[in-house]
């Protein structure tokens, strides 16, 4: 049974001051204590409440509830096993926003009023603010699951009163490219680099899927029953086990960051897919693979995975233009390039692919499949891509390429040296 102990202070300035300490029997058979009660009765009531909670199986150790958020974050993050980039993003939210304000706050001291007020002071994007509050909520949910807290004061609460994000600077027109522009940028880059651009625009591969593509997954064959025979077409496979090149930071046991690069599964089930390749692109890829000595289809001239910054230096002048540079000692002559489409990115080329699919009336179920997206609603469950749909998409993309070549007056995509 809980009881109270009288405590008389001997500290200078409060000598002789009386307080009471609650004593209660913990689940492990040892006596727990909590000081600082003004009366014997309040100390006994508090101790009785602890023992009642223990008997009912809802007791939370006050020592654990007093644990600081910064210490619990290390414990919680160590127990999580999400994708590597997700872990990196969480650490970025923690270090940039959450821990500077809450690192030394006891778990028991959190309340929604203060958290919402803090969120309104953040100057980052609304999405980042919401992500940070959601992450903090998940961490406190973990504290409840770990029996460090009885309840999570943030659970189920909704942020209000956040300032709006500034309007985006780029217009929607800049997020996709006409077919002729794609071909012009590709030709300017040449066969090895230009094929990166063509393949992204005509297949919709994500950057990490493109640079992680092994030649064993290039130009495989799709076979489906169709009209009494078999429909076949070449495909690029985004492998479900190691289909993307992941780049992120990992933490060692001491919390220090180090870079990680390696192949991982795609971001979700629908991203692991077989993408149908139109005939012209099959021919270009066949020639490329015959001449290319490396295992990665789209890699540096030395067979290494691209760093984004390296590829940035390749595509920027091709799309944005560049000044001429005369030949000098240690540097090669570079001709001047007029801009083709300033700001064009590989992500914009993926936007381009899906825009073309819509423009060419590709069946939405097939369009979602080829882009690696889940088709929403009940139609995504009951409708499936057919060979007829696939043939229509491939023919549309082939004709798109042919029309652009005719418009540009080209017989071949690559210039002869």
User: Which tens digit of pLDDT belongs to each residue from 236-254?
Assistant: 999 999 999 988 877 776 6
Residue 312 included in any domain = yes
Is the pLDDT score of 417 beyond 80? no
Specify whether 129 is located in the same domain as 90: yes
Specify whether 82 is located in the same domain as 120: yes
* pLDDT value of residue 329: 65
Residue 221 included in any domain = no
- The CB density around residue 131, as the number of other CB atoms within 10 Å, is 17
Query: Tokens standing for 288?
Result: 């490329």
Specify whether 288 is located in the same domain as 336: yes
Is the pLDDT score of 363 beyond 90? yes
Specify whether 188 is located in the same domain as 315: yes
Residue 256 included in any domain = no
Band (pLDDT 50/70/90 cuts) for residue 398 is: very high
User: Which tens digit of pLDDT belongs to each residue from 118-133?
Assistant: 999 999 999 999 999 9
* Residues 211, 297: Cα–Cα separation, whole Å: 7
Q: In which order are the strands placed within the sheet that holds 3-8?
A: 3-8, 18-25, 31-37
* Residues 240, 270: Cα–Cα separation, whole Å: 9
Query: Helices (DSSP H) in 260-363: which residue ranges?
Result: 279-291, 308-320, 346-359
Q: Tell me how many domains the chain contains.
A: 3
Residue 234 included in any domain = no
Query: Tokens standing for 9?
Result: 């202070």
Give the torsion sign (CA, 97, 99, 104, 106).
Answer: positive
Structural domain harbouring 77: 69-145
Q: What is the mean pLDDT of the chain?
A: 91
Give the global pTM: 0.74
Specify whether 189 is located in the same domain as 334: yes
Specify whether 41 is located in the same domain as 180: no
* Residues 40, 21: Cα–Cα separation, whole Å: 8
Specify whether 102 is located in the same domain as 39: no
User: Which tens digit of pLDDT belongs to each residue from 137-167?
Assistant: 999 999 999 999 989 999 999 998 887 776 6
User: Which tens digit of pLDDT belongs to each residue from 315-340?
Assistant: 999 999 998 877 766 666 678 999 99
What DSSP element (H or E) covers 275?
strand 274-276
Specify whether 192 is located in the same domain as 53: no
Specify whether 292 is located in the same domain as 313: yes
Taking only Cα atoms into account, the Rg of the chain, rounded to an integer number of angstroms, comes to 31
Specify whether 94 is located in the same domain as 196: no
Residue 364 included in any domain = yes
How many residues can be counted in the chain? 417
């Amino acid at each position: 049974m809980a009881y109270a102990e009288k405590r008389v202070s001997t500290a200078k300035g409060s000598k002789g001051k009386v307080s009471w300490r609650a004593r209660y029997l913990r689940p492990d058979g040892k006596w727990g204590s909590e000081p600082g009660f003004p009366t014997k009765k309040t100390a006994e009531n508090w101790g009785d409440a602890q023992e009642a909670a223990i008997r009912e199986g809802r007791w939370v150790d006050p020592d654990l509830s007093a644990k600081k958020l910064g210490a619990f974050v290390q414990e919680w993050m160590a127990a999580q096993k999400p994708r590597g980039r997700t872990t990196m993003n969480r650490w970025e939210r923690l270090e940039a926003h959450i821990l500077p304000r809450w690192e030394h706050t006891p778990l028991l001291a959190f309340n929604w009023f203060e958290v919402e007020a803090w969120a309104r002071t953040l100057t980052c994007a609304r999405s980042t603010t919401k992500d940070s509050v959601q992450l903090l909520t998940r961490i406190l949910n973990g504290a409840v699951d770990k029996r460090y807290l009885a309840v999570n004061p943030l659970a189920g609460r909704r942020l209000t009163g956040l300032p709006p994000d500034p309007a985006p600077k780029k217009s929607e027109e800049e997020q996709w490219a006409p077919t002729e522009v794609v071909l012009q940028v590709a030709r300017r880059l040449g066969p090895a680099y230009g094929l990166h651009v063509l393949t992204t625009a005509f297949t919709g591969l994500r950057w990490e899927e493109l640079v992680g593509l092994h030649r064993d997954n290039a130009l495989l064959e799709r076979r489906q029953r169709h009209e009494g025979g078999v429909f076949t077409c070449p495909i690029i496979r985004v492998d479900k086990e190691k289909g993307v090149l992941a780049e992120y930071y990992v933490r060692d046991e001491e919390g220090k960051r180090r870079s990680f690069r390696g192949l991982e599964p795609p971001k979700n089930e629908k991203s692991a897919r077989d993408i149908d390749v139109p005939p012209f692109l099959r021919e270009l890829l066949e020639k490329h693979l015959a001449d290319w000595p490396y295992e990665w289809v789209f890699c540096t001239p030395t067979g290494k995975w691209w760093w984004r910054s390296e590829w940035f230096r390749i595509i920027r002048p091709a799309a944005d233009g560049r000044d001429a540079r005369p030949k000098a000692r240690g540097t090669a002559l570079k001709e001047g390039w007029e801009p083709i489409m300033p700001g064009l990115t590989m992500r914009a080329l993926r936007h381009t692919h899906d825009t073309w699919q819509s423009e060419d009336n590709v069946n939405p179920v097939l369009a979602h499949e080829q882009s690696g997206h889940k088709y929403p609603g009940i139609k995504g469950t009951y409708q499936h891509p057919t060979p007829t749909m696939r043939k229509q998409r491939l023919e549309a993309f082939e004709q798109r390429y042919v029309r652009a070549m005719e418009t540009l007056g080209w017989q071949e995509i690559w210039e002869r040296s």
